[in-house]
A and B are shown apart, each in its own frame.
Chain A
Amino acid sequence: MKRKLWQSILLYATVIVACAVVLFPVYWMVVTSLQPPGSLRAYPPHFLPPDPQWQTYIRLFIETDILRWMANSAIVAVTATGISMVAAVLAGYSLSRYQTKSSENVGLFILMSKMLPATMLIIPLFGIMRSLGLMGSLWSLIFAHATGIVPFATWMLKGYFDSIPNELEQAAQVDGCTPWGALFRVILPVAAPGLAATSLYGFVLSWADYLFARTFLANNADSWTVNLGIATFKGEYQTDWNLVMAASLLAALPIMIAYLFLQRFLVGGMTAGAGK
């Protein structure tokens, strides 16, 4: 099946336009952050800054706590993803391999819990975290995020495990592994792409959270995450758009990079988790 020339041109043109439209906000974020303050309001706007202002970023590091916010976000995202992956790997494996009527119901229960609206849960959670003394502590966020990741991660991983033949761990068990050994020495290494995709999903979910951070951490500026920090910062530096965009870019950068590396696993992980 050979494409005609005009079809090829049309296809490439569509792809390029689509990507350009989708990526424009990201591009504009980069351009604005390098714009000298004076040319932010230039008319017509500069689509390429004539004189890139790298010191905007230096100013950002000096004037704001963005590095600490990012560190907090990273701590929360890594820990929450770690905790949720342990729970989701075990649960997904169980749902894939030890299927019984009642475990199927538990599986459905896990999936259904994704339906609960966070804006409802946060009201009692606010009280619970306060009574546990976790208000303002990163742990409050870690637990909330970890639990939020578990349902979908469990189902993604279940789908992935389903695609690995049963005989593999049976062979491992006959070869002398315990069920744990079979899981850790055989199934998990084989499922590595699925684990990568699911971890990325969890990490993105945690890093992007604003609702829980805003509710649990607002009173303790030391433990702000990057989203909370930027939202507040935006309120203070209303018009310093170059600074705000620089901070935004930094906040988005870690997961954009993680995404670029792991994106190819994501599609596979989704097929397993979402398809059938």
Chain B
Amino acid sequence: MADIQIQNLNKRYGTFQALHDMSLDVKDGEFIVFVGPSGCGKSTALKILAGLEAASTGSIIIGGEDVTELAPAKRDIAMVFQNYALYPHLTVRQNIGFGLMMRGTDKKQINQRVERAAQALEISDLLERRPKALSGGQRQRVALGRAIVREPRVFLMDEPLSNLDAALRVQMRAEITALQRRIGVTTIYVTHDQTEAMTMADRIVIMRKGVVQQIGSPDTLFNHPANMFVAGFIGSPAMNFLSGKVQRDDRGLNIDAGGLRLPVAEAAAAYLGKTVICGIRPESLDLARDDAPALEITPTLVESLGTEAYVHFKLPGQQVATAVAGEHEHQPLGNGTLIARLYDVGTPLSGGTIRLGLKPQASVHLFDPATEQAIS
């Protein structure tokens, strides 16, 4: 068990900068998730941590020891891969025990530890099988077993759940989190799925194009996104972005967005008279009272999920296409439509116009249209 310092890490492939001056301090026992769209450098960072790739510049210190130049074998880390990378020619028992054998542990002890790990993961009855004869979820457990049996200083996990089906993914997500909390090994987990990041991490490192965008707890990232990218990436459905002009009236600073009056904090005073981008989470919208100012919209689609409904709509001229959503960048979700997530709607919504208002306590996030940074 150990803390990790990543210091000014850079990685270049020719002229392509895969990782740009990344620094991070990981506390002992912390669960850190690197998240971002594909090509954001999260996997590169993990490979450099593992010693599978060399950093161009910068250093990595694990447990107070500079390991930048050290071979993966000597770093005392364990890694779980997306495709599990189980050795197909070895049985489950041999797979899990492989790392111990490489380190010269004696046979009896290997067997004991393998069986203990297998028990913890409930795969004791699979020990004599080969990986080919296992289901996806079982392979996942074996891969985890291979990692925990060595009791390493650090766990590295590279999208370990993305090859599982949805239901199993939710289950394994909870199991991995519980396992990590129980044994308390410092863990770095890479994923493109913001839900995994939000549900599992102590702290999230969100990255884009090789640059760290923000580091913080899931709550921090959700409630105080540093820029439009983070705001759009965290949360599902994604945040709505509308453009509007900052103005001042008798009730204070506000923005007029298509008939809706959005009150904003004094921090936006510097932008008085200018256009800014307002981020409103789908959850912040609700049906407006008849007398309140509201957005009058015609839904393009209403998805009803029983207790909640997703109302899709468009505001031509005002909506700002989100640049980011999901695994791949520049693939705006829902073609730039806006979404309101409404709870416990009694009346049928389809057909006709709907009046949407802001919930009383909901916050509006403001971003500078040029820099895309949050205004605060």
A41 CB to nearest B CB, Å: 57
Chain A, range 179-199, C-beta contacts under 8 Å to B? 181, 186, 189-190, 192
Are the C-beta atoms of A173 and B72 separated by less than 8 Å?
yes
Chain B residues closer than 8 Å to A113, beta-carbon distance: none
Chain A residues closer than 8 Å to B73, beta-carbon distance: 173-178
User: Binary interface profile of B, 81-114, with partner A (CB < 8 Å = 1, else 0)?
Assistant: 1110101110000000011001100000000000
What is the bound-complex CA distance between A239 and B368, given in angstroms? 99
Chain A, range 146-171, C-beta contacts under 8 Å to B? 165, 167-168, 170-171
Say yes or no: is A172 at the interface (Cβ < 8 Å to chain B).
yes
Are the C-beta atoms of B102 and A181 separated by less than 8 Å?
yes
Chain A residues closer than 8 Å to B52, beta-carbon distance: 170, 173-174
What is the bound-complex CA distance between A208 and B89, given in angstroms? 34
Are the C-beta atoms of B87 and A186 separated by less than 8 Å?
yes
* Given the contacts A165-B83, A170-B81, A176 and B89 also touching, CB distance less than 8 Å: no
Are the C-beta atoms of A171 and B79 separated by less than 8 Å?
yes
Task: Using CB atoms, name the residue of chain B closest to A192.
Answer: B89
Task: Using CB atoms, name the residue of chain B closest to A188.
Answer: B89
Residue with the highest number of chain A CB atoms closer than 10 Å, among B51, B81, B87: B87
Are the C-beta atoms of A190 and B88 separated by less than 8 Å?
yes
Chain B residues closer than 8 Å to A192, beta-carbon distance: 89
Are the C-beta atoms of A175 and B102 separated by less than 8 Å?
yes
What is the bound-complex CA distance between A135 and B150, given in angstroms? 57
* Given the contacts A173-B71, A173-B73, A174-B50, A168 and B85 also touching, CB distance less than 8 Å: yes
What is the bound-complex CA distance between A173 and B47, given in angstroms? 12
A28 CB to nearest B CB, Å: 44
What is the bound-complex CA distance between A174 and B81, given in angstroms? 11
A71 CB to nearest B CB, Å: 34
Chain A residues closer than 8 Å to B99, beta-carbon distance: 174-176
Are the C-beta atoms of A177 and B79 separated by less than 8 Å?
no
A160 CB to nearest B CB, Å: 14
Are the C-beta atoms of A167 and B85 separated by less than 8 Å?
yes
Chain A residues closer than 8 Å to B79, beta-carbon distance: 170-171, 174
Chain B residues closer than 8 Å to A165, beta-carbon distance: 83, 85
Are the C-beta atoms of A190 and B89 separated by less than 8 Å?
yes
Are the C-beta atoms of B98 and A170 separated by less than 8 Å?
no
Are the C-beta atoms of A178 and B81 separated by less than 8 Å?
no
Say yes or no: is B146 at the interface (Cβ < 8 Å to chain A).
yes
What is the bound-complex CA distance between A248 and B104, given in angstroms? 53
What is the bound-complex CA distance between A173 and B88, given in angstroms? 16
What is the bound-complex CA distance between A171 and B51, given in angstroms? 11
Say yes or no: is B78 at the interface (Cβ < 8 Å to chain A).
yes
Are the C-beta atoms of A167 and B102 separated by less than 8 Å?
no
Are the C-beta atoms of B102 and A171 separated by less than 8 Å?
no
A185 CB to nearest B CB, Å: 8
B277 CB to nearest A CB, Å: 41
Chain B residues closer than 8 Å to A176, beta-carbon distance: 73, 99, 102-103
A251 CB to nearest B CB, Å: 36
Chain B, range 155-170, C-beta contacts under 8 Å to A? 156
Residue with the highest number of chain A CB atoms closer than 10 Å, among B75, B99, B103: B99
Are the C-beta atoms of A167 and B81 separated by less than 8 Å?
yes
Chain A residues closer than 8 Å to B51, beta-carbon distance: 173-174
Chain B residues closer than 8 Å to A172, beta-carbon distance: 87, 98
User: Binary interface profile of B, 117-157, with partner A (CB < 8 Å = 1, else 0)?
Assistant: 00000000000000000000000000000100010000010
Chain B residues closer than 8 Å to A190, beta-carbon distance: 87-89
What is the bound-complex CA distance between A176 and B75, given in angstroms? 9
User: Binary interface profile of A, 243-267, with partner B (CB < 8 Å = 1, else 0)?
Assistant: 0000000000000000000000000
Chain B residues closer than 8 Å to A189, beta-carbon distance: 89
What is the bound-complex CA distance between A194 and B161, given in angstroms? 31
Chain A residues closer than 8 Å to B75, beta-carbon distance: 174
Say yes or no: is B205 at the interface (Cβ < 8 Å to chain A).
no
What is the bound-complex CA distance between A176 and B50, given in angstroms? 12
Task: Using CB atoms, name the residue of chain A closest to B74.
Answer: A176
Say yes or no: is B262 at the interface (Cβ < 8 Å to chain A).
no
What is the bound-complex CA distance between A192 and B89, given in angstroms? 10
Chain A residues closer than 8 Å to B146, beta-carbon distance: 171, 175
What is the bound-complex CA distance between A175 and B51, given in angstroms? 12
Say yes or no: is B190 at the interface (Cβ < 8 Å to chain A).
no
What is the bound-complex CA distance between A192 and B71, given in angstroms? 27
Chain B residues closer than 8 Å to A175, beta-carbon distance: 73, 78, 98-99, 102, 146, 150
What is the bound-complex CA distance between A168 and B73, given in angstroms? 14
What is the bound-complex CA distance between A173 and B77, given in angstroms? 10
Chain B residues closer than 8 Å to A186, beta-carbon distance: 87, 89
- Residues on A close to B: CB < 8 A? 165, 167-168, 170-178, 181, 186, 189-190, 192
Considering the complex of A and B, which 7 residue pairs feature the smallest CB-CB distances, nearest first? A176-B102, A167-B85, A175-B99, A171-B85, A173-B72, A167-B81, A189-B89
- CB<8 Å pairs between A and B, sample of 23: A165-B83, A167-B83, A170-B52, A170-B72, A172-B98, A173-B71, A173-B73, A174-B51, A174-B52, A174-B73, A174-B75, A174-B77, A174-B78, A174-B79, A174-B99, A174-B156, A175-B78, A175-B102, A175-B146, A175-B150, A177-B102, A181-B102, A186-B89
* Given contact pairs A167-B82, A171-B146, A174-B79, a sample of 6 additional A-B residue pairs in the complex whose CB atoms are under 8 Å apart: A170-B52, A170-B85, A175-B78, A175-B99, A175-B146, A190-B88
